[in-house]
Amino acid sequence: MFSGKTEELIRRLNRAKIARQRVEIFKPALDTRYHAEDVVSHNQNSIRSTPVPVAQEMLLLAAGCDVVGVDEAQFFDESLVDVCVQLANRGTRVIVAGLDMDYMGQPFGPMPALMAVAEFVTKVHAICVCCGELASYSFRVTAAESKILLGETDAYEARCRYCFQEGMREKAAETTSQAELK
Ligand SMILES: [Zn+2]
């Protein structure tokens, strides 16, 4: 979430552009936090992108591209895996950025399968807001249950494994005490 994965995606795509390669960037149409047409990272270093409602649309839209970038890939369904494989099989370089785990610490959407079929996997880390260690987990500060809760600093905290577990234990204890009051 705060790990710089979108910045890393933009960095790689910009280098491809410098090499005069044809680049297209896609993201799920539901992610409209800032601008519908831009992949916008937290540091405002943005790059134009095309929102698509389903992964299959990329196959047509990416015709003639050398490099295809996908941002917020965790919000696509499993069909993204097959689409990326098809693109790669026809010679397109595919760079996918996404969260590997959801707020419950579980593998997120198509990400585990994408990591399995990719030649290269880079895990970028945030810093745990509690202790300063490397953070791999997104701890949800709010109580909402939906897996797709878009938003920034208010809803999630980057946490390390230990502090994520601590937070989940505290949440479970809160739920129990609330239940006892009813
Ligand atoms: Zn920590």
Q: Is the pLDDT of residue 142 over 90?
A: no
Select from 104, 124, 144 the last residue of a domain.
124
- Residue written as token pair 């997104």: 138
33 shares a domain with 14: yes
Spell out which residues have Cβ within 5 A of ligand 1, the ion: 128, 130-131, 133, 160, 163
Choosing from 87, 105, 124, the residue where a domain stops is 124
Same domain flag for 48 and 117: yes
**Are residues 43 and 12 part of one domain?**
yes
Residues 116 and 133 in one domain: no
Considering the domain architecture, whether residues 119 and 158 belong to the same structural domain is answered as no
Give, in degrees to the nearest 5, the angle at Cα 108 between 107 and 114. Answer: 90
Q: Is 72 a catalytic residue?
A: yes
| Residue scoring higher pLDDT (130 or 39) | 130
101 lies in the same domain as 173 = no
Residue 47: the pLDDT is 73
Residues found in the chain: 182
Q: What is the pLDDT of residue 107?
A: 96
What is the model's pLDDT at position 110?
Answer: 98
| Contact assessment for residue 44 and residue 10, using Cβ atoms and an 8 Å cutoff | no
Task: State whether 132 and 53 are in the same domain.
Answer: no
The C-alpha atoms of residue 74 and residue 12 are separated, in whole angstroms, by: 19
Determine the pLDDT at residue 41.
61
Q: Catalytic: which of 8, 37, 57, 72? A: 72
Cα-to-centroid distance, 143 and ligand 1 (Å): 20
* pLDDT, position 84: 98
pLDDT band at 57 (very low <50, low <70, confident <90, very high): very high
Q: Domain of residue 98: give its range.
A: 5-124
For 46, residues 6+ apart whose C-beta sits below 8 A from its C-beta are: 10, 35, 38, 39, 40
Report CA(105)–ligand 1 centroid distance (Å). 14
Domains in the chain, number: 2
Q: In three state form, how does the secondary structure of 25-86 look?
A: EEEECCCCCCCCCEEECCCCCEEECEEECCCCHHHHHCCCCCEEEECCHHHCCCHHHHHHHH
